[in-house]
């Protein structure tokens, strides 16, 4: 019998696929995320600038028209009907009223920006609109798309490869991408050739416009921009009187910084001395609750608690155990603050603060400093979060410059009017002290001048100087 031979088939060769460069996938993902943020930001800024210009034209028309309230009311109603018929929903009488209010609130800031840019030699004509400027401006180049650039590039030769076409000429600097030029800009492009200080979306400004105090409004605008607050978070922070609580927990000399820089975190007092509003926990103020129930409520609402704590906080652990002399101790909550580069341990108290509570948190802080933190990290901060504290007792118990702090919390939103009146008193005292300081400085300078130059001494009325 003939033996059947197996036909040999060529075995496929294993080809090892070349791995993409490290971080390649992440780079593509970041590009997409950046594009999405840019589109959303462009829409937000365009809406803000559009409504600002609508408000400006309404105000100017009302001022130029008959000086009667009836004229302004009729003008708004007719404009709302016209715009709704032409563009559909989105231009109701209420929306136009918001646009008018938006202009009236932010016009002073826009004027300051315009004057500053005039002083800096801005050559942009005032009558130029934003939409014309974005399409035709040669000084502020909004990048064309890549196909348009390739088509308009007269230096590209037909025989060049695509790679050669994509390479920029050596005498032209590589431009930033459109995302870097516009997406990272702190201000929106302008309708009048200047820069508007709009950094948030229209919905954010609907909340901010309700704040009458300029310094307070500026504080919330800075914080919402820097911390990427949603509209809901902005409304909650304003409703919880964050500005007033921060201002009243700070040195009076530092209160004015809040409206210029927002909430700056430079030292432990910046995060530890502010009273906390924990209304989001849902615990009744007059109900009896244990510290473990308070802790569980905080854990279940950790994102809101982190927002209330402030900047830079990262949650690490609950009931962190450590053993000393065969005894177990538990720290209620452990956080890390990336801005201060230190651990923050929190001990919860459901009642009035006692001196032994401060001693207990001191032991926790000492343990973390000696056995947990790295050498390049700053000393641990300890906070006793209590329902009520006696400030004088705390100052008497703790040494100066201690890293131990006692902070009060409330289970309801504070009385905003009461906090505002307290803050107004503080500001009046601050301004009075500043005037007195300037006056004493001027009087001291005048006295020193008289001593060094006797001839400059003024002569009382009715007396005459003898001699030369």
Alpha-carbon span 30 to 44, nearest angstrom:
21
Question: How far, in Å, CA of 43 to CA of 39, rounded?
Answer: 6
Tell the residue number behind the tokens 């050498």, with chain if given.
Answer: 375
pTM of the model: 0.61
Backbone angles phi, psi at 343, to 5 degrees: -75, 150
Query: What domains sit in the chain, N to C, each tagged with a CATH number?
Result: 28-144+178-202 (no CATH), 265-414 (3.40.1350.10)
pLDDT of residue 142: 36
What's the full length of the chain, in residues?
Answer: 468
What residues does 324 pair with on adjacent strands? Answer: 327
Q: Encode the chain (468 residues) as per-residue pLDDT tens digits.
A: 555 555 555 555 555 556 667 676 777 777 777 777 767 677 888 888 889 988 988 888 887 655 555 666 788 888 888 898 888 888 889 999 999 999 999 888 776 555 445 455 544 433 344 444 444 433 333 333 433 443 444 444 444 443 344 344 444 343 344 444 444 444 444 444 445 678 899 999 999 999 988 888 988 999 899 888 999 999 988 888 888 888 777 666 666 667 677 777 878 888 887 888 888 888 877 667 888 899 999 999 999 999 999 888 999 999 999 888 888 999 999 999 999 999 999 999 988 899 899 999 999 999 999 999 999 999 999 999 998 888 888 888 888 888 999 998 988 877 777 777 767 776 676 667 667 777 777 766 666 666 666 555 554 444 444 444
Distance separating alpha carbons of residues 229 and 200, to the nearest angstrom: 9
- Residue 35: exposed, middle, or buried by beta-carbon count in 10 A (0-12, 13-18, 19+)? middle
Confidence (pLDDT) at 243: 85
Q: CA-based angle 47:53:58, to the nearest 5?
A: 125
Going by C-alpha positions, the residue among 216, 195, 189, 166 that lies closest to residue 44 is 189
Burial class for 213, CB neighbours closer than 10 Å (0-12, 13-18, 19+): middle
| pLDDT for 120 | 54
pLDDT given at position 5: 52
Residue 252, Cβ neighbours under 10 Å: how many? Answer: 15
Residue 188 is classified by DSSP as B
The set of residues, in sequence order, having a beta carbon less than 8 Å from that of 445 and lying 6+ positions away, is: none
Alpha-carbon distance of 383 to 271, in angstroms, equals 10
The pLDDT value given to residue 385: 93
């Amino acid at each position: 019998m003939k033996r059947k031979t197996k036909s040999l088939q060529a075995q496929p060769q294993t080809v090892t696929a070349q791995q993409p460069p490290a971080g390649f996938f992440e780079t593509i993902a970041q590009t997409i995320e950046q594009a999405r943020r840019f589109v959303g930001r462009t829409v937000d800024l365009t809406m803000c600038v559009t409504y600002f210009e609508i408000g400006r034209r309404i105000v100017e028309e009302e001022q130029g028209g008959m000086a009667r309230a009836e004229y302004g009311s009729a003008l708004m109603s007719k404009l709302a009907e016209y715009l709704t018929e032409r563009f559909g929903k989105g231009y109701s009488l209420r929306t136009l009223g918001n646009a008018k209010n938006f202009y009236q609130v932010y016009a002073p800031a826009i004027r300051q920006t315009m004057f500053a840019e005039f002083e800096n030699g801005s050559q942009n004509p005032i009558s130029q609109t934003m939409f014309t400027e974005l399409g035709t401006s040669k000084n502020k180049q909004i990048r064309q798309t890549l196909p348009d650039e390739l088509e308009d590039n007269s230096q590209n030769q037909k025989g060049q490869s695509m790679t050669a076409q994509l390479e920029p000429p050596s005498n032209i600097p590589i431009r930033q991408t459109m995302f870097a030029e516009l997406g990272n800009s702190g201000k929106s492009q302008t309708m009048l050739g200047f820069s508007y200080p709009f950094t948030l979306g229209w919905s954010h400004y609907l909340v901010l416009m309700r704040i009458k105090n300029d310094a307070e409004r500026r504080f919330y605008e800075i914080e919402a921009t820097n911390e990427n607050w949603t509209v809901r978070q902005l409304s909650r922070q304003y409703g919880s009187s964050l500005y007033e609580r921060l201002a009243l927990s700070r040195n009076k000399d530092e209160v004015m910084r809040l409206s210029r820089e927002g909430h700056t975190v430079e030292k432990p007092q910046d995060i530890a001395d502010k009273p906390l509003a924990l209304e989001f926990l849902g615990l009744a103020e007059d109900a009896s609750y244990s510290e473990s129930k308070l802790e569980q409520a905080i854990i279940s609402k950790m994102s809101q608690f982190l927002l209330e704590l402030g900047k830079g906080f990262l949650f690490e652990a609950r009931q962190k155990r450590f053993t000393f002399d065969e005894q177990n101790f538990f720290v209620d909550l452990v956080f890390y603050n990336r801005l201060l580069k230190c651990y923050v341990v929190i001990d919860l108290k459901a009642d009035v603060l006692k001196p032994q509570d401060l001693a207990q948190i001191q032991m926790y802080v000492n343990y973390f400093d000696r056995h947990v933190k790295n050498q390049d990290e700053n000393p641990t901060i300890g906070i006793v979060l209590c329902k009520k504290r006696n400030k004088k007792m705390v100052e008497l118990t703790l040494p100066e410059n201690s890293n131990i702090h006692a902070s009060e919390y409330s289970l309801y939103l504070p009385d905003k009017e009461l906090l505002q009146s307290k803050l107004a008193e503080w500001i009046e005292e601050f301004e009075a002290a500043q005037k007195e300081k300037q006056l004493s400085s001027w009087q001291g300078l005048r006295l020193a001048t008289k001593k060094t130059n006797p001839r400059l001494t003024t002569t009382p009325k009715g007396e005459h100087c003898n001699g030369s």
